[in-house]
Each structure stands twice: as C-alpha cells, then as structure tokens.
Chain A
Amino acid sequence: MSESLRRALRSESIPGEHEARERSWELAQAALQGREAVPARRAGRGRLLLVGATGLAIVAGAVSPPGLAVLDSVRDAVVGDRVVVRRPALFGLPAPGRLLVNSRQGPWIVQADGSRRLLGPYERASWSPHGRYVVATRGFELFALDPKGKVRWSLARPGSPAQPRWSSDGFRIAYRLGARLRVVAGDGTGDRSLPFGGPGDAAPEWRPGAAHELALVDRGQIVLTDTDTQEVLWRATGVPTPYELAWSADGRRLLALSAGSLSVLDARGRRLAQVAGDRGAELAAFAPSGGRLALVRPRAGGGSELVLTDAGLPAAGARRILETAARFSDLEWSPDGRWLLLGVEDADQWLFVRAAAPHRIVTVSNVRRQFHPGAAGPAPFPELAGWCCAP
C-alpha cells in the first residue's frame, strides 16, 4: 500500500505543470530583485504605492509628458504582496490562450509563448468560438481565415463589412454592412439581410448557449432576435443607446455600455441594474466563468481605475484593483479568468493584472512598435480583439 501510494503521488500528471513552473520562476526572479529595491524605492520616488487597508495598488504620476510609460520607471519590484514585473517587449502571456490584436498592418495572433503571426492585410478581425478560425474584413469583403492566415472563404458585398461576430455554435456570422445588419452561415453561404439596424457603434453580439439569438441595437434600442426566424424575442426600453454590448459566458446577462451609464439586463431583457454618472464605466468585460465583471471607470482627477464586481450588480461590492493617471484603452480577460489585460495607449503599454489577490502586474512596453515592425512613422496603438481559448 505504502509503495503504491508513493508511486501514485509521484506520477500523477498535473495539467500545465511546466508552464506553471516557468511562470512562477519569472515571478520569483522579479521578487528577488524587488526584495533589494523596495526599501530605497519606498523612501524615494514612490511611484508605486500600496494602500494596505484596501488592498489597492495605485500607480501614480505617470503620463507627463505624453507617452511616458505608466510603470516604465518602476523596475521589477515587490511591494507588499504585489509583484510588478516590467518587460520591454511581449515575451509571453501569463496564462494559456492566444491573443488576437488588430493593428494598422493587419490582425496578429499572439501565442502564449509570445510568438506572433501577422494574418495579412485585413482591417479588423475577431475569433470564431473555439479559436479555430478568424473572421476579418477588408474593403468590400468578409474573410474566414485559419490561424495561419489561409483564406477559407471570402464574400464580397456592395459596402464595407464591419464588426463581424461568430456565433457560439460556429454556424453563423453576423456583421454590419453600412447601417444594416446581415448574417451569413459559418461556411460563407446563405448571406442575407436582417430587418434591423440603423446608425450606431455597437457590434451585434450572439447570446452564448442559445442557438442563433443575436443582441443588437435597432433604432437606438437593444433587441434580441432569433436570426433564423427573424422573430424579435424582446426589445429593451429605458436603456440608453449603447455603444457596446457584451454577454456573460453563460448567456444569462447582457451588459450595455452607454455614454455615462452601464446597464445589466437579464436574458429576457429586464434591467437588473443600471449605474450612471461618475460611477459608469468606459470598458467592461464579463469573466469567462460568468460570476465576475471587470470594469474600467474614469478616475476622479483623470486617468482610469480597474474594478471587479459581481456580474449582476455592478454597483455593489465593487473592488478597486488598480488605478493610474493614464487611461485604459482596452480590457480583456484571459480564457482561464485569472488575468486581465489592459491597454494603456498614452503609455504605449499593456498591463497584465492578476485578478485574484495578490494582484500581480506585468507591464509590457513598446506595444506600438511590436505590432508595426518596420513602420516609418508613428503607428496607432493596436486594439485587443480577444484572448481566446487554447488551440
């Protein structure tokens, strides 16, 4: 018994052991360096402050002059239970999965080991549900690509296809063509128009777990429709016109971000919560497991703050994780729900923030240059288009 137990304990295969070891080693190295740096830094410039009572890491004094990195002057450091690791380039992702990044040169796929592949000269791209394909737009055309950039099919339309979104079962793609919404099958056939639309910013969003239910903005109102029957399942009233919609992973909640307010609806279109005014949000993302919601809110005096809250009640129990004098421009969860990725356009940085305490922060600098190699002039800050499931 004792020997068989020993063998079983030693031979048990643990998923992701190697990757976990390398992630931990990276943090351990940073911790060793930070252990030496902390006393001098605490007494000195104090750019990274720790408010122990609230568990809030405040990154201050960041963006003057414009373009100065938020954390660039803070070398790898440990403050309290937090580790800040500074990276001059994207050497890898802190969690499994792949990033899709839209740049002026085209969409890139970033693997967990940091390797990047430019898919080609497309304008915007988004993932298929399991990351097996990417749907992208260029000029008059819509393209389905594999992750190596090979075109599986394309569809030309008189207009500029935009905001393509793949349904969770993979059988439909919704996209905007001018002011109208259209749906095409996942193999590029059966393209047709939906009787909804109108000018607006919000991309249509498929409801996870439902066959072909699509949330969209029609004449300023949020509508849920079955795209196969074109039946309107509900139309939400009293919700300000949103510029962004997002479903929770379980399809039970729909978040609508509007100028100055944030609303959470249930799957029947009933409003569960609305937060307006200063407590509204600029960016929001449901955690992949559905129970939490990450919000980026404007910070008093400028800049942004990152908070985590309950998915159904964004006003209640909000916990601030991080605030900076710079504004966050993008927000994505890692597929395992353990990390958040924030874009900081003013600082040309990405911040990887571990969602659970202690909130580790990994900063990646020179983001523009990495997604515009060889660019002669100034390049725009790339946009995050999803941190997808592992292949």
Chain B
Amino acid sequence: MAGSGRDERARVRGAQAGSASDLEALFRAHWGRSFRAAYLVVHDAAAAEDIAQESFLAAIRALDRFDRRRPFGPWLHRIVVNRAIDWARARALRAEVGDGTLAELPARPVRPESRGDLLPRLARLPAEHRAVIVLRYLLEYTPGEIAELLELPRGTVNSRLRRGLDSLRKGLGE
C-alpha cells in the first residue's frame, strides 16, 4: 500500500521532524484510499473529502505521539472509517426526524442500477456493514485486523461481513 514498512517508518520519522517531502509521500500513499473508503461508507463526495482531510490533519497533529514502530496506514484508516460511520449515523438520525434543512438540499443524482452494479446495493446497507466491507475488500484487512481497528469482537466483524455479503448477493439474484 505505502511501500515497504521500513520506508514508511522513515517517512513517518521525517514527517515528525517537519519534512514536507516525507509528509507528501505519506499523503500520496494514503489519502486516495482513505478518501475512497470514506466515500464508499458515506456515499457523499463532499463529506468524504471532509472526512479524509480531517482525518489526515488529525493524524498530522498527533504525529508527535505516534509510535513509529506501528504502520501508519491502519492508524489513519481507523480514524477515517470511524469518522465515516459517525457521519453516516448522524445523517441517518437527521433524516429520521425530518430535518427541514436537509429536505431542502437538492437531490443527488442516483446511479442507474444494473445487475452487475454492486455499489447501489452497498449504499443500502447499514453504515457499520459498509465499513467492514470496505475495510475487507478495498483496504484488504483481515477480519482480525478489522476487529482490532474498530475495537469490535471478531465474531461481530465476521457476522457483519457475512450479512453484508448476503445482502449484496440477494440483490444481484445470486
């Protein structure tokens, strides 16, 4: 994902010392996946930009406290995915109580759905299920790593993965 572990540790060390080039290397290596992961959880490009941006800024602010022996990616992804889940939950809550301002927002264009199109199906899953699917199939974490990232029992992760995949399959008639 971001080069070898040794390279990444060197970049984190450089960024901690204020090196813009090391920060840029970390940014270029991780921001795209973070943005994509956030987008696939919240399905809103502007919100995903905010989430990825704020997560990266939060990571920079905490660089001094970061343990360089640990990989940077999971640390950042934990922040991103948790923020994305929070955002999606907050939006769902606002929708349930009929927020007037929200109702005035222009409708977003809906992607045409086809048999081969999984993403509209993904968007209908609960945010927590979307998050584990994104962590598993986009960011390639194992269920054990996802459990650690989200601070969930491994059984919960497995169950969310299974239910999420089942819903996607049903939608496609498999």
Contact = CB atoms under 8 A, between A and B. Distances in A.
B72 interface: no
Contacts of A358: 54
A28 B60 contact: yes
Interface residues of B, number: 44
B31 A25 contact: yes
A16 B56 contact: no
25 contacts: A1-B169, A5-B165, A5-B168, A10-B36, A14-B35, A14-B36, A14-B39, A15-B45, A20-B49, A20-B52, A24-B31, A28-B56, A28-B57, A28-B60, A29-B24, A31-B60, A32-B20, A32-B23, A35-B64, A81-B54, A250-B104, A289-B104, A291-B102, A292-B101, A310-B101
Given A12-B36, A21-B35, A4 B56 contact: no
Contact of A25 (B27, B101, B165): B27
Interface of B: 15, 18, 20, 23-24, 27, 31-32, 35-36, 39-40, 45-46, 48-50, 52-54, 56-57, 60-61, 63-64, 100-102, 104-106, 116-119, 133-134, 137-138, 165, 168-169, 174
When A and B form their complex, which 8 residue pairs have the shortest distance between CB atoms, in order from nearest? A291-B101, A20-B49, A9-B138, A24-B53, A8-B118, A31-B60, A290-B104, A31-B57
Contact of A36 (B18, B105, B118): B18
A42 interface: no
B106 A289 contact: yes
Contacts of A310: 101
A17 B45 CA distance: 8
Interface of A: 1-2, 4-6, 8-10, 12, 14-17, 20-21, 23-25, 27-29, 31-33, 35-36, 78, 81, 83, 250, 289-292, 310, 336, 338, 356, 358
Given A5-B137, A289-B104, A16 B45 contact: yes
Nearest to A29: B20
A23 B53 contact: yes
Contacts, number: 110
A158 B162 CA distance: 76
Given A25-B24, A28-B60, 20 more contacts: A1-B174, A5-B168, A6-B138, A8-B118, A17-B45, A21-B31, A21-B35, A25-B31, A28-B53, A28-B56, A31-B61, A32-B15, A32-B18, A33-B18, A35-B61, A35-B63, A78-B57, A291-B100, A291-B101, A336-B46
Residue of A16, A25, A310, A356 ringed by the most chain B CB atoms within 10 A: A25
Contacts of A32: 15, 18, 20, 23, 60
B164 to A, nearest CB: 10
A288 B18 CA distance: 39
B57 A4 contact: no
A130 to B, nearest CB: 15
Nearest to B33: A10
A25 to B, nearest CB: 6
B35 A27 contact: no
